[in-house]
Structure 1
Amino acid sequence: MATVKTKFRASSSKTKEGTLFYQVIHNRVARQIHTNYRLYPQEWDSERKEIIFPPGTGEIRRNYLVSLKTAVQEDSKRLKSVVLRLERTDNTYTAEDVVSKYLSPADNCCFISFAQNLIGQLRQIGKRCTADTYTTAINSFARFRRENDILLDEMDSDLVTAYESYLKSIGICPNSISFYMRNLRAIYNRAVDKELTVQRHPFKHVYTGIDKTVKRAVPLNVIRQIRELDLSLRPVMDYARDVFMFSFYTRGMSFVDMAFLKKKDLQNGILSYRRRKTNQQLFIKWEKPMQELIDKYDTTGSPYLLPIIKSSSKDERRQYKSEAHRINRNLKKIGEQLGLVIPLTTYVARHGWASIAKSKNIPIATISEAMGHDSETTTRIYLASLDTSVVDKANSLILKSL
């Protein structure tokens, strides 16, 4: 196995700084890697091969030496990772190979570059949702790294724990931290599957669970207030309120599912759609309040039931995401107008429907089926035996209470 040493080369002038360099030795052949790290002879311990702080070192110089020492440690770690990666291959390698790979690491050997390549591949095969979540996570990690990439072999628990501390320091909530960690872990595991690195379990000491969500439901009287609010002079807020109410009327349908509803999905008084998140097929009895909202908006020439996606010739995903931001921004204004203590968003309609259904003693299994939940085994067992008419009766009961 190749060995790596850090060495100091003194200046020919005793009053000037010397430089550090790395020496790679393999099969009795030595190669050097030069650095721009400069220090005085008295700041280098030749026996222990490390930077030291001689007596009388000022604060500014000490800070410089500390940063230099950290840089040397990171470089040494990276060099050793290159050696280990070459050792794992069946091919013979030279000291020159170590130096070459250190100076010009391949994109697929670096974590951020690997993630970006992976995201591009996912978009090409149509997995845009996964690509978007990976993009959000890797952009956060890149900000933490100040856009400096890192070798896959350098991804360890210390680095990931430092990233977690960084997220906490800028006020990111536990569930969002967990979201970032779970997606970064998925990216890392893909690199392991491709044998670009060995599994070091760098995410084992950080939080990847899900905290209990802060209550986002509102009671029935607030839903009534939202429905009856006079917004005739503020059409954009009126539209945002209608989208909110449509979600509530349809058992808390998620915004993405509402956006992609098509007119052909409504047949013989039944609205049928497949959840984008779980691919579960759902059926909803068409009720009068739903039709009243649909009749308010002219969607002539559009295949969509709601005017969220306005042009099939443009990027539909970008349209619905842009509209979601706009609608939620206006819903928050409505919530502030009503004096709500929680931000009003389309998601509140989903939480609200479930909370109100539970308050009316509707069975949890019925609520689960109504909302398209399929993540718990026990829920699936109960759902398998439910008749959809039970769900429709539950929804009718809630709508009549308004």
Structure 2
Amino acid sequence: MATTVSARIYSHHEKSDGTFNVKYVVYHKGERKFIDSPHFVSKRQITKDFEIKDKFVLRWLDEALDDCRVLISTINSRLDFFTCEELRDYLRDSNKDIDLIEFANSHIDYLKENDREPYSRTFRKIRNSLVDYFGRSHVSINEIHSNMLYMYERFLKAPRTISRINQLGRLVTTTEKGLSKGGLHAHMRDLRTLFNEAKRKFNNDELGIIRIKHYPFTKYKVGTPPATKVRSFDIEEVIQIRDSIVPKDTRVELARDMFMLSFYLCGTNAVDFYHASDANIKEGRFEYNRSKTQGRRQDEAFISIKIVEEAKPLLNKYLGKLSTRYGAYDYLDYALYKGMKGLREITGLDELTLYWARHTFGTLARNACRMSVDDIGEALNHIDNGHATTDIYLAKDWGIVDDVQHQVIELLNYRINDPQNVIDLNPEDSRKAMRIVSA
């Protein structure tokens, strides 16, 4: 039977007010799928056989059905490749505007459902900034064009006041600094990624379905990232953080403890501590799958780290308790953000964040301990694209990770007082070391 579209009403679709929604019926390959129309009819507009008799409604329906038939004719020979459901979706959505905010929300939900919550927060920032820029919660993807991107860039670089709902459901207004060059590059890169994901979902080149017809990043160039700023402390500054006197049971104490715990355990991220429990402790080792890259690696980003003596009291203090204290990781992240602000005031270290623990661990392993780049990569649980094939055939030797960890932590027990013993690489070597830990 040929592919057809028609308009029907069904007795079991009667609404509480006595009206019926007119359905467009798509028949293809022996299946029927339905599309809700914007039209509703009452019993006096239909016959006893549930046929529409109102001429005004019929005229509107005929025009809509003609549009559907034109769309089907443009598919031509590709029609055989469509399932009935795909054809229904194509007819229903072909002229429908795509809301980028709505898509961003669905993409964020998808990432969360697939255990990629930390990555989803990247797109939450993009969504929120677009809402701030446009001043509304619905943005057509056609509004994302090259001219808009240049104006959006200026918006991001300027200080701005933003309002958000906090974990208590209260509206909080804050003043944010403009993005740095590095922050701006990362933001626009992530917006481009979101746009590409939308094209991947809504366009199908093989079937000739092109709902997103433009690509603003052809004219607007994201460019290359600026040189990475060295984000690490020397060992004296780590000791300063470790020995800082902070108020008990506060966010500042949480920030100090989590920094040191991350440093002791090879730069483990806060999100992995948040999701960890006693089940992650096995024979004196902390074992987990790194959330950031778990879904992108054959080994599921698994790592096994020795629990050194320095880390034991902190693990006992926080393991399995973070997820109870904070209902979602975002709440822990915010607590750390506020705690780090207080810790910076106490220590006088202006750029102290939790991620500096990871960078500091990797940089000290390279610059002070002279460990190899490959061994540091193992300790930091990185993807090694250059050795990906070889790694399939090699069993993991966690002793390599233990050695890197031991060498770095030993620095805490040996203050370097003799200037001749201080290892100071030139800026280019420092940048190379930072590239090791930036993934």
Task: Name the TM tier (shorter chain).
Answer: 0.5 to 0.7
The offset of 1:210, in angstroms, is 3.1
Aligned 8 A contact 1:181 1:203 in 2: no
The correspondence of residues 9-158 of structure 1 with structure 2, limited to 5 A, is: 89-90=71-72, 108-119=97-108, 128-147=117-136, 149-158=138-147
The offset of 1:373, in angstroms, is 1.3
Aligned 8 A contact 2:254 2:339 in 1: no
**Segment of structure 1 superposing worse, 116-125 or 390-399:** 116-125
Of 266, 278, 289, 2:281 maps to 266
Aligned counterpart, 2:195: 188
In structure 2, the residue corresponding to 1:309 is in which secondary structure?
helix
Of 318, 328, 331, 1:322 maps to 331
Matched, 1:197 2:186: no
Aligned counterpart, 1:394: 404
The correspondence of residues 149-228 of structure 1 with structure 2, limited to 5 A, is: 149-170=138-159, 171-193=178-200, 194-195=202-203, 197-204=211-218, 205-207=220-222, 209-228=224-243
CA distance in 1, matches of 2:346, 2:379: 30
Aligned 8 A contact 1:107 1:113 in 2: no
The superposition leaves residues 340-382 of structure 1 with CA deviations (integer Å, 9 ceiling, x where unpaired) of 2x32221111111111111210111111110111154258868
Of 355, 377, 392, 2:363 maps to 355
In structure 1, the residue corresponding to 2:135 is in which secondary structure?
coil
TM-score (norm 2): 0.58
Matched, 1:309 2:323: yes
CA distance in 1, matches of 2:384, 2:347: 35
In structure 1, the residue corresponding to 2:217 is in which secondary structure?
coil
The offset of 1:332, in angstroms, is 3.1
The correspondence of residues 277-292 of structure 1 with structure 2, limited to 5 A, is: 277-279=292-294, 280-292=301-313
Aligned 8 A contact 2:100 2:141 in 1: yes
TM-score (norm 1): 0.63
The offset of 1:121, in angstroms, is 5.6
The offset of 1:264, in angstroms, is 1.5
In structure 1, the residue corresponding to 2:322 is in which secondary structure?
coil
One-letter code of the match for 1:347?
Y
The correspondence of residues 239-278 of structure 1 with structure 2, limited to 5 A, is: 239-278=254-293
CA distance in 2, matches of 1:143, 1:87: 41
CA distance in 2, matches of 1:118, 1:88: 32
The offset of 1:148, in angstroms, is 7.5
One-letter code of the match for 1:361?
R
The superposition leaves residues 211-259 of structure 1 with CA deviations (integer Å, 9 ceiling, x where unpaired) of 333322101111112222333x533233432221111100111111111
Distance 1:111 1:210, change over 3 A: same
The offset of 1:208, in angstroms, is 5.3
The offset of 1:133, in angstroms, is 2.6
Aligned 8 A contact 2:262 2:357 in 1: yes
In structure 2, the residue corresponding to 1:273 is in which secondary structure?
strand
Gap regions ≥5 residues in structure 2: 1-66, 75-93, 160-177, 204-209, 295-300, 413-439
Percent identity reads: 24
Root-mean-square deviation (CA, aligned residues, Å) is 3.4
CA distance in 2, matches of 1:118, 1:86: 29
The offset of 1:393, in angstroms, is 1.5
One-letter code of the match for 1:135?
R
CA distance in 2, matches of 1:269, 1:206: 49
CA distance in 2, matches of 1:145, 1:386: 50
CA distance in 2, matches of 1:127, 1:387: 27
The offset of 1:336, in angstroms, is 2.5
The offset of 1:331, in angstroms, is 2.9
Aligned 8 A contact 1:226 1:241 in 2: yes
Aligned 8 A contact 2:242 2:256 in 1: yes
The offset of 1:207, in angstroms, is 1.8
CA distance in 1, matches of 2:132, 2:352: 30
The superposition leaves residues 246-300 of structure 1 with CA deviations (integer Å, 9 ceiling, x where unpaired) of 11100111111111121121111222111001110001112111113234x3x7x
Gap regions ≥5 residues in structure 1: 1-84, 93-104, 300-304
In structure 2, the residue corresponding to 1:372 is in which secondary structure?
coil
Distance 1:150 1:390, change over 3 A: closer
CA distance in 2, matches of 1:87, 1:282: 57
CA distance in 1, matches of 2:111, 2:302: 25
Of 359, 377, 387, 1:368 maps to 377
Distance 1:268 1:190, change over 3 A: closer
CA distance in 1, matches of 2:274, 2:138: 37
CA distance in 1, matches of 2:348, 2:137: 45
